[in-house]
Amino acid sequence: MPKIILMLSMSLDGYFEGPDHDISWHRVDEEVHTFYNDHLRRMGGFLHGRVTYELMADYWPSADADPDAARPTREFAAIWRDMPKTVYSRTLDRAEWNTTVVRDVVPEEVRALKERAGGDLVVGGVDLARSFERFGLIDEYHVSVHPVLIGRGRPLFPPSDTLVPLRTLGTHAFGNCVTLLRYARADRRE
């Protein structure tokens, strides 16, 4: 059965973005980008919130047209364009590049999408991830911890009264000191 995976980056002090949406501290070099391309090309689809979708759609559809673009950038442009995408938005009327617009996160509909998917589904965007988590829809957490303290910004995980036990699936250390931490919900088995 395909899984729904939260896949995001954060600073060591727990922020996914700094003030004014700053992510310039992300350390995505060729090794990191190639690793994620290899992982993402096997997925069944991307699940985006509107903001994440619009950010991605502003850059990735034509990123591989730049003759100076690095190989991993060109590869990901094709992966993103071709991958089935679901964007959750109450304001977006239509979307391009193999994208379906859905108004609300309805757990039964998400579970049906998961069953139909040709592979795991990746949740990108922290607001959408929070909605999915509220409904217990996230099966795994793949968090890339970047070796930087940014001091303030938006936390990846907001304060909560809910305890979610996890089990370790593995770790991966990159040469640039980014570390991928992979966890699954303890109440779910493969």
pLDDT at 190: 59
* Cα 38 to Cα 72: distance, rounded to the nearest angstrom: 10
CATH 1.10.10.2160 for the 4-185 domain, yes or no? no
Q: CA angle 119-136-164, nearest 5°?
A: 110
Mean pLDDT score of the chain, rounded to an integer?
A: 93
Q: Do 184 and 120 touch, CB atoms closer than 8 A? A: no
Sign of the C-alpha dihedral computed for residues 10, 163, 36 and 73 taken in this order: negative
Q: State the pLDDT confidence band at 160, using cuts at 50, 70 and 90.
A: confident
Q: For residue range 78-91, what is the model confidence (pLDDT) as tens digits? A: 999 999 999 999 99
Distance CA 74, CA 78 (A): 7
Q: Where are the domains of the chain?
A: 4-185
Query: Which of the residue ranges 32-36, 115-119, 159-163 has the most confident prediction, judged by mean pLDDT?
Result: 32-36
pTM of the model: 0.92
Please name the residues in contact with 185: beta carbons below 8 A apart, sequence gap of 6 or more.
138, 139, 140, 164, 165, 166, 167
